[in-house]
Amino acid sequence: MSEGDANLRARLVAAGVDLVLREGQSAVSLREIARRAGVSHGAPRRYFPTHVDLLSAIAREGFADLTARVQNTLRDVDPDPRTQLTALARTYLNFAAAHRGMFELMFRHDLLNSGRLRLRETSLPLFAVLADLVTQVRQPGDAPAPVLAGALWANLHGIAQLWAWGSLPLATGATDDDALLRATLDAHLGPAPHRPPEDTCHCCTTSAN
Amino acid sequence: MSEGDANLRARLVAAGVDLVLREGQSAVSLREIARRAGVSHGAPRRYFPTHVDLLSAIAREGFADLTARVQNTLRDVDPDPRTQLTALARTYLNFAAAHRGMFELMFRHDLLNSGRLRLRETSLPLFAVLADLVTQVRQPGDAPAPVLAGALWANLHGIAQLWAWGSLPLATGATDDDALLRATLDAHLGPAPHRPPEDTCHCCTTSAN
DNA sequence: GCGGGGAGTAGACAGCGTCTACGGCTCGCT
DNA sequence: AGCGAGCCGTAGACGCTGTCTACTCCCCGC
């Protein structure tokens, strides 16, 4: 049994991940994934009763990937929580921009809430990292930590969404993507003490795996 | 020519709007819309060359509806810009929660960026209202108005998204939906001067049309 | 050596979006 | 008044999709 024909299950997920990264969400049909995995269109059914189940597994991989990227980034960066939050945010936005199809798939609500897999819970570790950092930078007088973390996450997510389809530059005229992020962080966490010489996040310039 | 069989074009859009409001995004197939409009599956093609074109027209209706709701709300509310912004935000979130299928349809990026209709531009008037209010409440030291408006809109949109699929309560434990909104407004616009006795927005409790 | 069961195949089915050939109806022109 | 043209909607075909089911094959344990 060579490396290539391992678990068909894993091969299907891998083919799906590759497909959604390369061609976008609309390309991830059950039959196309089966084709790329070199099996008949009925084969996936043995492991994923439904198309949605397969998509959920693919999206799970996306969450794992994003979480790993975030953790890698945080490891390479000054441990100051505010700096870490900035790095986390940049990683999140870079991921959304670089892997739009996967990002869309990950947050499809029909995947998040269906099946026994509970895809939504897969996103919790990632959110926990953010919540932990927020707790550290929270100042007295701010909103309760969970609310603050939720609001910040929502803001991040909204930026990712809105600027993914190009609405923000069109509506705001701001071509500087980073300005929005800085404004968001300043708004929720208070003005940055000073701007560390942090240059661009390179998490998504390396290969996907 | 009776009232009922006016422009087939308008009837198709109306049937689509009704369908997406009632059954959600996945129900809005070309053939089902045609069925509800009482015509054959080929008929829509005369007015909408492509399924996406029809969906865009439906989403346009959604933007018009939301914009009208916002304007109605603003008319009924104290003209203080901060109060108006709060009302706008509540209307936006209520709309997203009450008409989830339509909201999803409106922000499908494949609709926003395709076709000659330029659906994205349909959202500009709505954003302009927000931008105008933001300009009025902006204080010296805040981010430039376009950036501030963009960040606030992104935050609103993110809240709508995240809590539509129930992730926020699960992740934050905050069951109070309004806390998140207040925190967001306070973060971007500074703490509210005092809390006006504004009760719940009723924009979505009346009939859709 | 042989039976049984898991794994993948292959075909059917309904539904989808798109395309095309076709009827019928209503106009305006001669 | 009669006729040709053009618009509007119908109807069927095509290839694609996800799902379901009958079947084959091969490996493993008895």
pLDDT digits (tens, 9 = 90+) for B158-192: 999 987 777 666 666 555 678 899 999 999 998 87
Would you say residue B1 has pLDDT above 50? Answer: no
Tokens found for residue B144:
């430039």
Q: B35: which DSSP letter?
A: H
Q: How far apart are CA A85 and CA A36, in angstroms?
A: 39
- CB–CB contacts below 8 A, A to B: 155
Contact (CB, 8 A) for B11 and B61:
no
Q: How confident is the model at residue B205 (pLDDT cuts 50, 70, 90)?
A: very low
What's the length of chain B? 209
* A127 interface with B at CB cutoff 8 Å: yes
Which chain A residue has the Cα nearest residue B176?
Answer: A147
A199 vs B13, residue with greater confidence: B13
Sole residue written with tokens 């979130």: B93
Chain D: nucleotides below 7 Å from protein CB are 8-13, 16-22
Chain center to CA of A11? 22
pLDDT digits (tens, 9 = 90+) for A158-169: 999 987 777 666
B188 to chain A: which residues are within 8 Å by CB? 187
Asked if B179 and A144 come within 8 Å (Cβ–Cβ), the reply is: yes
Ranking A59-68, A144-153, B176-185 by mean pLDDT, the lowest is B176-185
Chain C: nucleotides below 7 Å from protein CB are 7-12, 15-21
Burial class (CB in 10 A: 0-12, 13-18, 19+), B191: exposed
pLDDT digits (tens, 9 = 90+) for A69-114: 999 999 999 999 999 999 999 999 999 999 999 999 999 988 877 7
Q: How confident is the model at residue B14 (pLDDT cuts 50, 70, 90)?
A: very high
- The SS3 call for residue A165 is coil
* B114 interface with A at CB cutoff 8 Å: no
Chain center to CA of A87? 14
Asked if B159 and A154 come within 8 Å (Cβ–Cβ), the reply is: yes
User: How many other CB atoms are found less than 10 A from the CB of residue A164?
Assistant: 17
Cα torsion angle, A50, A47, B162, A203, sign? negative
B167 to chain A: which residues are within 8 Å by CB? 112, 120, 123, 127
Q: How confident is the model at residue B6 (pLDDT cuts 50, 70, 90)?
A: low
Least CB-CB distance to B112: which of A165, A182, A183?
A165
Burial class (CB in 10 A: 0-12, 13-18, 19+), B197: exposed
Q: How confident is the model at residue B208 (pLDDT cuts 50, 70, 90)?
A: very low
A112 to chain B: which residues are within 8 Å by CB? 165, 167
Cα torsion angle, A155, A178, B151, B121, sign? negative
Q: Compute the nearest-CA separation of A74 from chain B (Å).
A: 21
Beta strands in chain A (DSSP E): none
Q: Which of residues 73-112 of A touch B (CB under 8 A)?
A: 104, 107, 109-110, 112
Give the nucleotide nearest to B47 (CA→C1'): D8
Contact (CB, 8 A) for B129 and B74:
yes
Asked if A109 and B104 come within 8 Å (Cβ–Cβ), the reply is: yes
pLDDT of residue A31: 98
pLDDT of residue A205: 47
Measuring alpha carbon to C1', the residue closest to nucleotide D19 is A50
pLDDT of residue B170: 60
Render B120-159 in DSSP notation, one character per residue: HHHTHHHHHHHHHHHHHH--TTSPPHHHHHHHHHHHHHHH
pLDDT of residue A120: 80
User: How many other CB atoms are found less than 10 A from the CB of residue B84?
Assistant: 22
Would you say residue A183 has pLDDT above 60? Answer: yes
Q: How far apart are CA B135 and CA B190, in angstroms?
A: 14
Give the helix/strand (H/E) hosting A112.
Answer: helix A109-112
B196 vs A133, residue with greater confidence: A133
Least CB-CB distance to A112: which of B127, B165, B186?
B165
Asked if B154 and A110 come within 8 Å (Cβ–Cβ), the reply is: no
Q: How far apart are CA A131 and CA A78, in angstroms?
A: 18
What is the helix, strand, coil percentage profile of chain A, to 5? 65, 0, 35
pLDDT of residue A174: 56
Q: How far apart are CA A131 and CA A147, in angstroms?
A: 9
pLDDT digits (tens, 9 = 90+) for B62-71: 999 999 999 9
B107 vs B197, residue with greater confidence: B107
